Amino acid sequence: MRAMPVADYPTYCRMLDNARKHKFAYPAINITSPSTINAALAAFAAAKSDGIIQVSTGAGSFASGLEVNDMVLGAITLAEYVHRVADRYPIYVALHTDHCQPKKVDSFLRPLIAETARRRAAGLPNLFNSHMFDGSELPLAQNLVISQELLSECAAHQIILEVETGVVGGEEDGVNNEDAPAEKLYTTPEDMVEVARSLKDIAGARYMLAATFGNVHGVYKPGNVKLQPKILRDGQAAVAKAFGDAAQPDLVFHGGSGSTLAEIRETLDYGVVKMNIDTDTQYAFTRPIADHILCNYNSVLKIDGEVGSKKFYDPRVYLKKAEAAMKLRIVRACEDLRSTGTTLMTGSAS
């Protein structure tokens, strides 16, 4: 019987272990709609790469519709769509939720954990494979108290938890850290040791750490973002010294737009196994839509009493172009992160 393309817990763990061992990372693609989901799945299949598809609180609200505006309902709907269509693609994907701030834990994260618990009780697979708690706005001690609680809850249902220390600068999905103090943009080795000390012994648990090293959400030209990837190297060394190599966490790279390829690949040597990609894929999706509208202005719009042309204003026409362009950008991300050709799906690897 063919394996299910939405990874179960053992498969997801194998994915992360494989990335860590071979020094590559999975593109984690933020999605908002069936079209963006289709682009991600098609790209992973084209690259013969497994991957991660993730939903933010804002994407969940958007997907539920302007009138309903329910981030949990939207997230469930998007995840169920992935479960339905992923079976047509010869790769594994893991489903993840992106930044959940402390004030949304009870209104977003815990309802989704409860939905997975309900599904498991009915003999169904997990809805989401991992969740992110972004407690970076809190003092580290308070951040870790909540992280411990959530990691225990996740572990009970074979869900991986992603946590964050430090602050990713810039603005994304309604969360604005543009005025964050400079020191908050850089996680210290001591911070990473405290994370490991707090989370490493929770029974049956696995976590990922989004440690910050100058990364910034948003759009920046290469060279404008002052990354210090060696922060990750030094943090991992400090964790290994304190607790042994096995305690070193799997790392996540947020805010990669504007980073050079050399900087991105350097982080892979230090344990980054997941890189969030949103800004670049948003642009890739929107660019052909703008081109279609501007180049076919008289056909898309009913100007001077004319009727326009349905062949041009049918949303499917330009959304197909958007999906194809986003797919190409994700294929490039797989190449940049060295995940091309690494799928664990039997018979798919090159």
First to last CA, the chain: 21
The CA distance from 25 to 124, in Å, is 28
The CA distance from 137 to 298, in Å, is 49
Residue 98 annotated among the catalytic residues of the structure? yes
Please tell me whether residue 276 adopts helix, strand or coil conformation: strand
Spatial contact of 273 and 222, defined as CB atoms under 8 Å apart: no
**Containing H/E element for 117?**
helix 110-121
State how far the alpha carbon of 96 is from the alpha carbons of 55, 100, 245, 282, 344, in Å. Answer: 6, 11, 26, 18, 19
The CA distance from 253 to 276, in Å, is 6
Given the residues 8, 50, 87, 98, the one annotated as active site: 98
The CA distance from 132 to 201, in Å, is 19
State how far the alpha carbon of 344 is from the alpha carbons of 62, 137, 237, 268, 349, in Å. Answer: 33, 37, 29, 19, 7
Active site residues: 98
